[in-house]
Every structure is written in C-alpha cells, then in structure tokens.
Structure 1
Amino acid sequence: MDISVVVPLYDEVESLPELTSWISGVMDENNFTYEIVLVDDGSKDGSWGMICKLRENNPFIKGIRFRRNYGKSAALNVGFDAAEGNVIITMDADLQDSPDEIPALYSRIVDDKYDLISGWKAKRYDPLSKTIPTKLFNAATRKMSGIDNLHDFNCGLKAYRKAVIKNIEVYGEMHRYIPVLAKWAGFTQIGEQVVEHRARKYGKTKFGWSRFINGFLDLLSIFFVGKFGKRPMHFFGSMGTLSFLTGIIIAIWMIGEKLYRIAHNEHYRDVTDSPLFYLALVAIILGSQLFLTGFVAELVSRSSNDRNQYQIAETI
C-alpha cells in the first residue's frame, strides 16, 4: 500500500464527508493505493456515526473510536499502530489542511529519500493569540532540539516514512514534537515543505491556553529524556555529587577554622551557631538524595508499560 492518511478528530462530524471525499479524489487521480484511518477521540457530536456511514460507501476508510477523549497524541499513536502504508500522511480533520498537498509530500519521502517532511503554513488564518505563542514554542524547540530547518513543528500536515512512525511513541502533548522524537530515534533526514493553510470551515477550535503550558512542560520532558533518558545517573549523579561536595567543603572549612582559632587561643563560636553550617547540611542531604535518585532512575524503566493503552470502543 502506498499511503496511509491518519486523521485524528474530535467533534468534526460536519467536515468528515468533504474531507474523505477530497482525499479519495486526490488518491484516485494519482493512482495511489491508500487507506484513510479516522481516529475518533471520544467525539460527542455524532462523528462516529458519520465514520460508519462513510465506511459503507468507501472500503478504504478505517475507523477507530475511543471511549473518551484522550487527546491528539493518543489518537495519533493509535492511528500509527493501525497504519499499513509505506508513507504515512497526517492531517487535521477541520479542513484547514489541504489533501491536494499529499502527492508532493509523498514525493519528498519516496523520491527525495526523506524520513519526515513537516508542513509549514507560512501564511496562517489563526488569531494572534495562537500564532504568537506558537512562534515562541517553535523558536525554543529549534534551539533545544538542534533541528534548525523547521519553522513549524506543530503543523498537523506531515509525511513520514513507515519506519519512523513504527519506532516512536507519541504521548502527552508530544504530537507537536514528533520531529524531535524522530531525531532522537535516529531518523535525521527531516525536511520541510510550505503548505496551504485554509480558514476553518466548520465548528471551532478545540484547543485552549492549557495546551501551551502542557506543551512547554513536554518540551522540557522531551529534552531531558532525549539527553539523559538512557543515562539518568549522569544528570542526577553529577548534580548530587556537586551538591554533596559543596556541603562537605563548607563544613570542613568551618570546622578547620574553629580548630585553628582554638589552637591560637582566639575567640571562636560553635559551628552549629552559624547559618552557613545548616546550608552546608542541606547541600549534603540534597546531594545524597539526588545521587540515590540517579541509582533508582537507572533501575526503573522510563516508559510505563501501559502508557499508551487506551479504551477503544469499536474498530471497523
């Protein structure tokens, strides 16, 4: 199979007929063998009923429905597991991504030998409250990940070589950092393509301000995991050792100063009377805890066995 189109959706019943018809038209026009994987992330507006109806008239449509809303990352992860195409295209269900971009994205993967092509909506129809934070996140992600050639990490329209999506795990709010996950997994041929951004035709956006906070926390998480996930002792151990040695040096210095004053019959005060002693004690305790945390982190897997187990109600 040439292409799998994975579409995560939440309350997008109005756009689904037009979207699937458009995708099928593009595929037929270019003689692609394909499947459309629609992942219903706990919709409450009848989206699943529409998916079932569309499936009756189009055997290339697959549907997966969550019992409740888990988020876009969960929907993508399950969609990736179900995808069978050699090239996987992801797009949003709100018709702001154009299926007409699929042939060019496919060509970049197959002909130009890229592992991942991320869309860049150079001209956007989003409000400033969405575009400004997005630009800040993209700048921070470029800096921390070292992927300097991408302008928009969070664009829903992307193309992947099959090996990429079968070797990464998407959870939390990590969907916006899939290029970073791919890089950490060893897929370094990452490119970008300018794509059309269309104004929303139906409904309203499902994302609020909380996604920016969650996205920032996930950025820190992915940076830490990517850098220290296989060697947490290097992080916790080095920090613990530095804190422990700092406390010990301060304590030894204070004790040595007291002994010196005693030997020279000079006035002195007890070590425990100085606030500095307690700071040194805290540093020693904190250093010991960090060091032990490093040992524990080496023994515990960073990935929970059931992190990406979701309650799927139906599959067609």
Structure 2
Amino acid sequence: MGDIKEVRITEVSPRDGFQSISQFIPTEEKIKILNRIINLGFPQVEVTSFVHPKAVPQMKDADEVLRGIDRPEGVLLRALVPNLRGLDRAIEAKVDKAKLMLSATDAHSLHNANAKTFDAMRDFHLLVDRSQGTTVHVSGSISVAFGCPYEGDVPIDRHIEICDRYEQYGITEISLADTTGMANPESIKRIIHGLKEKFPHFKFSLHLHNTRGMAFANAVAGYQEGIVDFDSALAGLGGCPYAPNASGNIATEDIVHGFEEMGIHTNLDLDAIITEARTLETNFPSYSNSFILKAGKCSDLHIAPGKQQKLGD
C-alpha cells in the first residue's frame, strides 16, 4: 500500500444503476441526472452501455443521452461495450473510454454473452484494432471475479489465463467485479495479490456490489493491496440483470464517507454527493441501498438527552 492516501471513485449509477430499474427513465430525465452527476467532481463517470435494446431496454437511448449531456474538462466519460457495433457507437458518441464485457466463468458468460469466456474474447482484437486512431481508450473487465453464482470460487489460474489473453490484445486496464457480492476481504487480497504479482504493469480497479454487506470491507482490503480505483453508485443503485439475487453497487456516499473517515482522500464533496443520492433515493426508493442515507455521517452529532428515560416513568 505504501504511502498512498488517496483513491479515485468512478460513478456508475447512470449505467449499472439505471439498467436495474424496470420502468424506463425518460431520456431528458436521464440527461438532467447525468449532468448533475458529472458536475459533482468525479474523475470518471460510466454514462451508459451500448448494448442491444432488447438486452437492456433502459439503455436504448444511449446515443441520444451522449448527445445531450455536459462534457466539462477533466471528467472522463466511460461506456460499456459488448461488441464491435457497440464500439462503433461509442466512437461516434465520443466517449473517452470503452469497457469490454467479460465473465470469469463459462456459466456466467453463457448467460451474459451467449458464449463461453474465451469464445467471447475471440473478437476483442477487432475492437482494439478499431479503436486505433480514435480518441477512445479500450479497457477490460472480469465479472464474477470473486465468486460465480453458478460455479462458485474462481481460481487465480483462471484470472491469470484471462489477463494473459487481455495482454495479448494490448489491454492492461482491468476492472475486477464482485458482481453478486460473494467476495470477502481474504479472497479480495488473494486474487489481487496474485494478479499484481503476475501483471505488475496492469492497472486494476474494483467494482463492488454490497449484496451481503461486505463491500466496504472488501474495498479496504483492495486498498491495502494497492488498489486506488473503485466504482460505486449513488444511493447504492445497481445490479446485474444476468445474475440471480444481484443487488446494488456499494453506495458512493458509503465508500466516500468510509475512506474519508480513515483519512484516505477522495477529493469529492460528500455533502453534495449525499444530496444527489437522496434525490435518486426519492425517485427510485425500491432500488436504493445506502447506510449513510439511513444513518447519516459520523460527524452528524445529536443533542444529548437530559436524563435517562425509563419505561414506566
């Protein structure tokens, strides 16, 4: 971990959060929400995914949303892309980064991409080649990296094999996703330590879901292994449509509050984040999952009672 006392938070609620919401959010409303989020000071925002509308109907207006949002200096816009057609749309929409979709296990990959893991990777080189000469940077991901609901634990050798293939394609920035919240601090440390030892030049990040209440403990474990890039979603929105019982991402207000309490800086305004998170919670109450929205910050002190109140007095 060294002397690092700073982390970077990527906000993913406009993509991972919105895809879990069953009712279609009008395009203009998406643009308004995204503009507020983009202006909160995140270094990177995952704005949408360029998937087929039948796969994720909520993302059917991705191109229109990208045309309508603000693009302030210093904020990278990232989108999820499943294939060459998705990348073409991302290039046309002028996003800064296109993140490829990939599952660690064959069972999850068949459900998510209709192909086994390495079959799904077969055409990745075409996407990398297509990105050459454009302003779009291609990064990778590994879903269900710390546990698959169909196959269980994912051995480190599987991750090494996947990262070897990514490296062959020239992709060295990888998001490790705990898609269904099956990770624990020890498994986080074991996988990250093994990967960083084998691929010291890679840039790894963590995408954590709070399905079993372990997400912040897992974030701290990742930080202790040198991870400084984390995904999160305002109000804890999110969930994979191709994983059973998947719940939301770690709430942005929770991870920012937790790291700041530890003296690890996020360079974000927690109060402004909480304000926007409350707005999203109000709009999508059944999809929200946030400790800070329930309990408040540790610094939110209360007036002490004058005396003990006893039952029967």
Settle same-fold status: TM greater than 0.5. no
| Bin for the TM-score computed over the shorter chain | under 0.3
Greater share of residues in helix: 1
Which protein shows a greater Rg?
1
TM-score in terms of structure 1 length: 0.27
TM-score in terms of structure 2 length: 0.27
